[in-house]
Amino acid sequence: MDSSGLNSLLTARLEANRHGTLLALAHPGQQVARLLQTTGTASLFPLSPLPPRPQLPR
């Protein structure tokens, strides 16, 4: 993943937050994890051991 991919993740996170939901990463690969650590953005993305279950709107 490069800076374009990171930008896409950050944009998706902002959109999720705007809609009151959380974007978690399920099983990110080594390259993704390394990029998040290097750029200091790892704490913005919770890790999920399993894919998150869809939530119905309330």
| pLDDT at site 51 | 66
pLDDT in tens, 6-56: 999 999 999 999 999 999 998 888 999 999 999 999 999 998 877 667 778
Q: Are 7 and 29 in contact (CB under 8 A)?
A: no
- Above 90 in pLDDT, residue 57? no
More confident residue, 58 or 42: 42
* pTM score, whole prediction: 0.77
Spatial CB neighbours of 18, under 8 Å, sequence gap ≥ 6: none
The pair of three-digit structure tokens given for residue 18, joined into one six-digit string: 């705007």
Half-sphere exposure of 57 (CA within 13 A, CB side): 1
